Structure 1
Amino acid sequence: MGSGKIPKSTLIRKLEAGDRNIYREYIAFCNYKGKRHSMLLKRRKAEFAFLYIP
């Protein structure tokens, strides 16, 4: 859907290329209103540990 003019995130590009080393990119999504949010960081780390299958 759409024209595809929006660039893909590094996380999506790595996954599409088959690169499974995505920890740093995954936990980077922990900002709220432009600032790093400690509870979101904690949540992302827990999600990664729970969902990541090497």
Structure 2
Amino acid sequence: MKYAIYNSKFDLSHHLKLYAIDNGFQYRTLTSKKGVLHVVCCDDNCKWAVRGVKLRG
């Protein structure tokens, strides 16, 4: 899914956990700060990644 909007970082993180479970893969967190969440697939052959940033407003 591209360009989804979540109400909070917690909501995004929860969705990612469920997505990984449903699709049978693991991911690791590269960056987790107040306004950024960046996760990547644990498998070196997998290109899946998600980067979420807080929107201004």
After TM superposition, the score normalised by the length of structure 1 is 0.30
The structure with the largest helix share of the pair is 1
Greater C-alpha Rg: 1
